[in-house]
Amino acid sequence: MIITLLIWSGFFLSLRASSHSNLTTADIALIRFVPAALLFSWLCRHKFKRILQTPKRYLLLICWGAGLPYFLIAGQGLQYVPVADGASLIPGILPLFVSGIAVFCYRETISPARKAGLILIAIGVVGFVAKSFAAGQPGMLLGYSILLFASFSWAWFTIAMRLSGLSAMEGAAVIAISGCLLLTMGALSGQMSFNLLSSDHHEVFYHFLVQGVGVGIVSSLCYTMAISRLGAEVSAALGSFTPVLAALMAIPLFSEPLSEQTMLAMALIVMGALAASEVLPVSHSNLLKKLRRQRAG
């Protein structure tokens, strides 16, 4: 999960950097999904029958929530807002959506600690939205809305991956292969444009390392493995540390200073995410009960 956090930070920075280059979002997606699809197709060549036997609703949610649709939604949202805001909203609000889905769709009860955490997350999100109103920038409000939808999509992927029974490698294969298929459809329909061959090769190599190797291969394996080992809610909570890393890295790269309001909103989201997913046990007995439930599950 630590490796995943570092790569996620690079993911947001890479998408933000693409808005200042000749590379289109489709170019970045091509770099993101093709290397992973080639690798995982070969590694899972004997497991396609098992993958296809997975309930189709889970496969669809995995393809949408972590594949090309999520990638395009997140990339679009980051065109309007700073990296710190984007990296805070997508992984930061994730536990709120995961808990909401668990309550409404799976009738799970919410503990007082989780309720308190969700309230902190909501206050943090309001802080971001209030900043766009105060600055008179409607474009930022649109960006926040898009990023919230991206986080909602990622929440469904997190839950679907947990319930599907797929291994980390099989889940990564579903994400990568579906992304390539959708990219092909977009190219044939003329809905996507590519400038990859005419772009600077140094910039292409940078995105290949971050998106192709880091996010496409390493992060896909690490996060899906974290979900299977730690559970959906704990993995979502740990992901809330992404904005801190991304925001610090964005200061020298994009000259994006952190305002006091931004730092306060980030702190609320991080603390709320930890409390909402109950990563910090309130007592030793509660921790033992939680471990027994995980083992029984």
Distances in whole angstroms, Cα of residue 267 to Cα of each of 111, 148, 157, 169, 235: 22, 18, 25, 33, 18
DSSP 108: -
Digit-coded pLDDT (tens) for 130-183: 766 676 666 778 888 899 999 999 999 989 998 898 998 999 999 999 999 999
| Residue written as token pair 């090309």 | 68
How high is the pLDDT of residue 284?
37
pLDDT score, position 150: 93
Looking at the chain, how many residues does it have?
Answer: 297
Q: How confident is the model at residue 81 (pLDDT cuts 50, 70, 90)?
A: confident
Listed in sequence order, the DSSP H helices in 189-241 are 201-207, 220-230, 232-238
Give the span between the Cα atoms of 152 and 105, in whole angstroms: 14
- Alpha-carbon span 59 to 51, nearest angstrom: 9
Whether 237 and 277 have beta carbons less than 8 Å apart is answered as yes
Q: Show Cβ contacts of residue 60 under 8 Å, excluding neighbours closer than 6 positions.
A: none
**Structure confidence by residue, pLDDT tens digits, 193-247:** 888 777 778 878 877 888 889 888 998 889 888 888 887 777 877 777 787 777 7
Domain boundaries, the chain: 2-296
